[in-house]
Amino acid sequence: MTEQQEPSTTTRYTPSEFEDSIYQIWQDSGLFTPPADGLRPTFTVMIPPPNVTGVLHMGHALNNTLQDVVIRHRRMTGYDALWVPGTDHAGIATQAVVEKKLYLEQDLKRSDMGRDAFVDEIWKWREHHGDVILNQLQKLGASCDWSRTKFTLDPGMSLAVRTAFVKMWEKKLVYRGSRLVNWDCNLETAVSDDEIEYVTRKGQIYTLRYPLADSDEYIDVATTRPETMLGDMGVAVHPDDKRYAHMVGKNIALPLTHRLIPIVADDSVVADYGTGAVKITPGHDPADYERGQRHNMQVMNILNGDGTMNEECGQFAGLPREKAREEIVAAFEKLELFVGVEDITHNVTISDRSKSVIEPLVSEQWFVRMSEMSQPAINAVNDGSLNFKPARWKNVYLDWLENVHDWCISRQLWWGHRIPVWYDEDNTPLASIEDVEIGSLHPETGKPIVRQDEDVLDTWASSWLWPFATLGWPDSETSQDLTRFYPTQFLSTGRDIIYLWVARMVMAGYAFLDEMPEADRCPFSTCYIHATVLDGQGRRMSKSAGNGIDPVEMINEYGADAVRYSLMILTREGQDVKLADNRFELGQRFCNKIFNVARYVMTHLKGDFTAPADSAFCFEDKWIKSRLAHLNVTISQALENYDFHDAAQALYRFTTDDFCDWYVELSKRRLWAIDDAEVTDEVLASAQAAKNTLGEVLSDLLKLLHPFTPFLTEKLWAELPQDFREDRGLLMGSEWPVADEAAQNVELEHQFDKLRDAVRAIRNVRALLEIPAGNMPEANVHCEEESDVELFNEQASLVSFAAHLESIDVKSIDAASPVATGTDVFSAGAIFLPMPIDADTSKLRSNLEKKLSKIKGGLIGLEKKLSNAKFVENADSEIVEGERQRMHELQIECKTVEANLQNL
């Protein structure tokens, strides 16, 4: 692509013909990898690693487009920009996918295969399918440094995970203990508090009668899970509850068991809810666990890992919990201890992953002490080291950190980082970065090591190290990347993982990078929370609902640039985006526009090019250069602030309105002039100036567009003649244009607006009077200000050309209105078009009448306002003066319109 290429001859933008080859050219150019010399400041983005089992969905497409826009912009503005890609091993999800596949295809269960063979199968699966989503990111145009692609189970990541674990071990931040955890009976593993959700479901609440031992009295207790009564260790009532006061301290003979359990008084019981008495099942309910602790109750586990009743359950042992529920209710009925059942709706805790009902149960797990680690992460937001955009998400982040619970990090799975802990024969643990040989001696006890911990770590316990582990930490051999590219500047992610991932990464940065100065430890300075993509009806897109729009399909249909651009302009900060698939037409139309205008411009840039003298550049040349300079400032600011919608919108406005509809159309006036028989040097120079301006504006515009529509702009850049690009390199690697301050001319832009308004007014009257395009009358333009008379006289040919006129006759507004004309008023005066013979004036009349009533309405409002002493007194003098001016204008307009109406 270093040689200039021939412009395309088709009039339709057909992205499928060039996107893949352009991506290949980028790949081969090495530009995805920042230069090794390290001379420029760095700008780093870490991709939120998608699950290795994942396929690209709209959320990914949106999020990764954002990141690519940021990275491409920074790459062009002089940074060594690095975007590190990778995938997450996603413990539970991946294990489940492969487990299912093996079962369906080979009728194999993992328990039959053994750990090593099963893990091998997952690795094989990853070799074949693990890059799907990364390839899809390439179709989207993601300019990641693929040479640095990481996987959260890579050996380097393993080293990082083990190092972090041992650091926590040494600081006593990690501990092993028996605690009530959220147990997923389907997956047979513990999950953390952050991996569960609550759903409202219909259920039943059962009331059971518990007889007191050695008494005729009883207590009724209500429960939604009758089967847990087998694990009851007591019954609690409120200390002030007179109904039960005499029973406190006595025992209950727990039915179906031979156990006696105490009645205790506890403040946590709500006396007027239900029967006012609650059963205490410390082994299977978080609140009861607390109550049990307060009353020194033992914890009894009645469940097996798969959700069946365990050997503590006597006749019920081995039954699935649902079946046990039925049988226990039946048994209570038989004993005449069943009081009743009612339908209720209540919140049920389910597992994020398997969607099965979570059973709280006590088991031996590894936990991370979070409270002290959370403090630096809290400080980071408060001292401004970390900014959220939109800012309100910092509250979600802070809420979680300020109320953080210890994190259960062990999982009873096989796919993941195995916990780097070994035990001697007395179960004394030893944490180690290096593998410990079985049979070697425990350094503290001197006893032989007999086994490694069977469990693996929660996936987030590797991904929280992502920002620095991807850069080589803690390996000193490879960690020059860490010094150069850490901390990163921008993290973009979804709101659902603010605490699962974002908060933990910040904690990890402060906790583990102790060799770095405090100020450099926060892993990113901006956390951008992107919009959620909803379907056309405003529902979340989901696989199960089948309402997802496949970005890859959209790319095939509309092109990656169209998909990218559409997503960017639809994404207002903090605002969810409703997406129907036809919304990509917006981007498609825009890309088509760029494609065609570039083709048009380039047909005029052929051959040798000599730059014209400054004097050859005319009014509209200066105008479009001024608009371009303003656009540059707007885009640059918007991108630095991550206001993607604003940037995309400014590009749209400039490209379609300013450039295509006005400048390019006006340029034809001068370009066609050289076809005339007698061509003066002046005409030639003017045409040359137009060509030069077209080329220069297009060149800069392609650059400004490039972060949003990289494929198309790169293709067009290759076709652009040498004179309009500084070197033969790729657009992707080119320098962002410098906003030309000298070219910015607000006054001139204001003048152009007046010309444009006049042209529009003329076109409007032409349409109302049905004057055909081929008919080129002479129009009168009457201006309110003398300076505008001058302006319109100077730019008469511009106005005539744009409005299809033979010529214009410019006068002061004080001049008498010409007779037999149709009029319209505009921002600087009025225009008059000669009435064609047999003209139907009805449309013009109704237009004028409507306008008149609007003007009169405006006048009444202004009169009222200006006669209000308080307004004149209080409002800024500029505002008051503006209103007076406006009033004056409206009065003139009123007069003009009335006069014309009378003449009709």
Partner RNA sequence: GGGCGUUUAGCUCAGUUGGCUAGAGCACCAGCUCGACAAGCUGGGGGUCACAGGUUCAAGCCCUGUAACGCCCA
**Residues 589-618 interacting with RNA (rule: CB under 7 A):** 589, 591-593, 596-597, 599-600, 603
Q: How far is the CB of 886 from RNA (least distance, A)?
A: 4
Nearer to RNA, 183 or 736 (CB): 183
Q: How far is the CB of 403 from RNA (least distance, A)?
A: 7
675 counts as binding RNA under rule CB under 7 A: yes
| Residue from 476, 672, 728, 733 binding RNA (CB under 7 A) | 672
DSSP 6: P
664 counts as binding RNA under rule CB under 7 A: yes
Nearer to RNA, 397 or 415 (CB): 397
Instruction: Please say whether the beta carbons of 431 and 175 come within 8 A.
Output: no
- Sign, CA torsion 239/244/246/252: negative
- CB under 7 A: which stretch of 361-369, 460-468, 619-627, 655-663 binds RNA? 655-663
**Residues 756-795 interacting with RNA (rule: CB under 7 A):** 759-760, 763-764, 767-768, 772-773
The DSSP H or E segment spanning 710 is: helix 710-719
- CB under 7 A: which stretch of 217-225, 255-263, 631-639, 870-878 binds RNA? 870-878
Q: How far is the CB of 461 from RNA (least distance, A)?
A: 19
Q: Interface mask (CB under 7 A) for RNA, residues 346-375, using x and -?
A: -x----------------------------
Nearer to RNA, 205 or 862 (CB): 862
Checking DSSP bridges between strand 807-812 and strand 821-826, what pairing results, if any?
A: unpaired
**Residues 806-865 interacting with RNA (rule: CB under 7 A):** 850, 854-855, 858, 861-862, 865
Instruction: Please say whether the beta carbons of 560 and 712 come within 8 A.
Output: no
Nearer to RNA, 153 or 531 (CB): 531
Nearer to RNA, 113 or 497 (CB): 497
DSSP 727: S
Q: State the number of CA atoms in the 13 A half-sphere of 192 facing the CB.
A: 21
Nearer to RNA, 265 or 287 (CB): 287
Q: Is the peptide bond before 390 cis (omega within 30 degrees of 0)?
A: yes
Instruction: Please say whether the beta carbons of 45 and 749 come within 8 A.
Output: no
Euclidean distance between CA atoms 388 and 392, whole angstroms: 7
Structure tokens at 145: 């440094």
Structure tokens at 741: 């301050």
| Residue from 101, 209, 294, 668 binding RNA (CB under 7 A) | 668
**Residues 534-553 interacting with RNA (rule: CB under 7 A):** 536, 538, 540
Q: How far is the CB of 328 from RNA (least distance, A)?
A: 28
Q: How far is the CB of 236 from RNA (least distance, A)?
A: 19
Specify burial of residue 320 (Cβ count, 10 A radius: 0-12, 13-18, 19+): middle
Nearer to RNA, 520 or 840 (CB): 840
Checking DSSP bridges between strand 80-84 and strand 429-431, what pairing results, if any?
A: unpaired
**Residues 874-893 interacting with RNA (rule: CB under 7 A):** 874-876, 879, 882, 886, 890, 893
Euclidean distance between CA atoms 520 and 512, whole angstroms: 12
Q: Which of 404, 376, 368 is nearest to 513 (CA)?
A: 376
Q: Which residues pair with 124 in a beta bridge?
A: none
Q: How far is the CB of 257 from RNA (least distance, A)?
A: 31
Nearer to RNA, 607 or 772 (CB): 772
Q: How far is the CB of 58 from RNA (least distance, A)?
A: 13
Alpha helices in 571-709 (DSSP H): 584-603, 619-640, 644-652, 665-673, 681-705
Q: How far is the CB of 542 from RNA (least distance, A)?
A: 10
Q: Which residues pair with 535 in a beta bridge?
A: 579
**Residues 382-401 interacting with RNA (rule: CB under 7 A):** 392, 395-396, 399
Q: How far is the CB of 159 from RNA (least distance, A)?
A: 32
Alpha helices in 277-316 (DSSP H): 286-294
Q: How many CB atoms lie within 10 A of CB 883?
A: 17
Tracing tokens 């800012």 back to the chain, one arrives at 391
- CB under 7 A: which stretch of 211-219, 277-285, 649-657, 696-704 binds RNA? 649-657
**Residues 183-212 interacting with RNA (rule: CB under 7 A):** 193, 197-198
- CB under 7 A: which stretch of 106-114, 579-587, 713-721, 744-752 binds RNA? 579-587
Euclidean distance between CA atoms 234 and 722, whole angstroms: 87
Q: How far is the CB of 407 from RNA (least distance, A)?
A: 13
DSSP 663: I
Nearer to RNA, 455 or 621 (CB): 621
**Residues 471-530 interacting with RNA (rule: CB under 7 A):** 495-496
**Residues 1-20 interacting with RNA (rule: CB under 7 A):** 11-14
The DSSP H or E segment spanning 181 is: strand 174-184
Q: Interface mask (CB under 7 A) for RNA, residues 242-281, using x and -?
A: ----------------------------------------
Instruction: Give the Å distances, CA to CA, from 879 to 809, 858, 872, 884.
Output: 34, 16, 9, 9
- CB under 7 A: which stretch of 292-300, 585-593, 699-707, 806-814 binds RNA? 585-593
Nearer to RNA, 374 or 588 (CB): 588
Q: How far is the CB of 220 from RNA (least distance, A)?
A: 26
- CB under 7 A: which stretch of 76-84, 481-489, 586-594, 708-716 binds RNA? 586-594
572 counts as binding RNA under rule CB under 7 A: yes
**Residues 432-461 interacting with RNA (rule: CB under 7 A):** none
Local structure of 342: helix, strand or coil: strand
Structure tokens at 830: 């009025």
570 counts as binding RNA under rule CB under 7 A: yes
The DSSP H or E segment spanning 220 is: strand 218-223
Nearer to RNA, 40 or 589 (CB): 589
Q: Which of 102, 12, 13, 9 is nearest to 559 (CA)?
A: 13
Nearer to RNA, 105 or 747 (CB): 747
Nearer to RNA, 481 or 643 (CB): 643
Q: How many CB atoms lie within 10 A of CB 694?
A: 25
Please tell me the chain's helix, strand, coil percentages from 3-state DSSP, rounded to the nearest 5.
50, 20, 35
- CB under 7 A: which stretch of 53-61, 272-280, 426-434, 645-653 binds RNA? 645-653
Euclidean distance between CA atoms 55 and 550, whole angstroms: 9
Q: Which of 551, 553, 595 is nearest to 142 (CA)?
A: 551
Q: How far is the CB of 645 from RNA (least distance, A)?
A: 7
Q: How far is the CB of 264 from RNA (least distance, A)?
A: 23
Q: Interface mask (CB under 7 A) for RNA, residues 323-342, using x and -?
A: --------------------
660 counts as binding RNA under rule CB under 7 A: yes
Q: Write the CB contacts of 167 (distance below 8 Å, at least 6 apart in sequence).
A: 173, 511, 512
Size of the site for RNA (CB under 7 A): 75
Q: State the number of CA atoms in the 13 A half-sphere of 162 facing the CB.
A: 20
- CB under 7 A: which stretch of 216-224, 407-415, 430-438, 584-592 binds RNA? 584-592
- Sign, CA torsion 449/453/454/457: negative
Q: How far is the CB of 239 from RNA (least distance, A)?
A: 23
| Residue from 154, 576, 749, 809 binding RNA (CB under 7 A) | 576
Instruction: Please say whether the beta carbons of 292 and 299 come within 8 A.
Output: yes
Nearer to RNA, 52 or 759 (CB): 759
Strand arrangement of the beta sheet that strand 829-834 belongs to: 807-812, 778-783, 829-834, 821-826
Q: Which residues pair with 174 in a beta bridge?
A: 368
Residue 767 Cα to chain centre, angstroms: 45
